[in-house]
Structure 1
Amino acid sequence: MWTIPNIITMLRVALIPIFVTVYYLDWEWARQAGAFVFWFAAITDWFDGYLARKLKQSSAFGAFLDPVADKLIVAAALLMITHTYATVWITIPAILLMSREIYVSALREWMGQHGKSDIVSVSFIGKAKTTAQMLALIGLLSELEYFMGFPLYWVTLGYVLLYFAAFLSVWSMLTYSIAAWKNLTQSS
């Protein structure tokens, strides 16, 4: 259990309350600092997977905890941007993203119980959705449109990527559902 990849994954879970606290601090750069903590946590997701493969330290605990850590920090970030922006234009894609995560997690669990987890394993669309979602959340959390007078358009890019992630989210959910449909409709 105490492998380097698992410790990094546990660090990502521990960063959630830090991320939320920093984001809501009452100082000028709190949102940007919170976005940085979120970015750091997102990077650890790639890093722990890389190290698990490189060091041959994959474990059942890591396979369980890694997606849980991802979903927890993304759920926190989605709730935070929904609260911060308080607009239907953020709320709708946030709900789509959260609904997909719950649906696909339940589908994977059900398929795993029936020995068919390979049918709904992570796909390229799912990975592309995760990348777009993480970048969107960093942009929206940061609230940066300008930095030292230079246009960055992070928030604008965040909106675009959030919608792209929502589109990929629905697409991947449908793809997984179609792949699993035969197994879901069989009589017990």
Structure 2
Amino acid sequence: MAYDFAPLFRSAIGFDRLAQLVDTAAQNPVGSSYPPYNIEKLSDAQYTLTMAVAGFGPDDIELTVQDNTLIVSGRVSDTTQGSREILYRGIATRAFERRFVLADHVVVEKADLTNGLLRIAVRQIVPEALKPRRIPISSGQAVADDNVPPVEAATDGVAGAIAADATATSQRASCAA
């Protein structure tokens, strides 16, 4: 399924990453629900990803962040399984891989495995340049930019042609009346 983002791109700048995320989500088929997980929002900038990984130890799980994607994969080693005969397997220990797309400026801070629950702390860190800032307004002083010439000085070229055209139009209108 393809989406047309042309209306968005006509009035917004820099949202091409959003289009890429939607395309990626649409292409990924719905996979296995194993292992189950929760995503909790603790504050505006803090999240916790909790995965139920019973039967896995810290050495059996690998966390990787690559290209704004958190990859959680697990594989139980076969050395512990070989010495036992399992009559009924109700606790799944099959290999898995889960991928979570991270927003810009999101970092994985730490991970903890306790009582079969893997908790991954995630935080959004907004750089100073992206934080809102108040711009002071002065009164009676012109704001000058060294790279842009003042409008009054630009009477030649296009600005002069526009001014001459406006004068000629107003003179014709007054003669016609």
- Interval of TM-score (by shorter of Structure 1 and Structure 2): under 0.3
TM-score, normalisation: structure 1: 0.21
TM-score, normalisation: structure 2: 0.22
Larger radius of gyration: 2
Higher helix fraction: Structure 1 or Structure 2? 1
Higher strand fraction: Structure 1 or Structure 2? 2
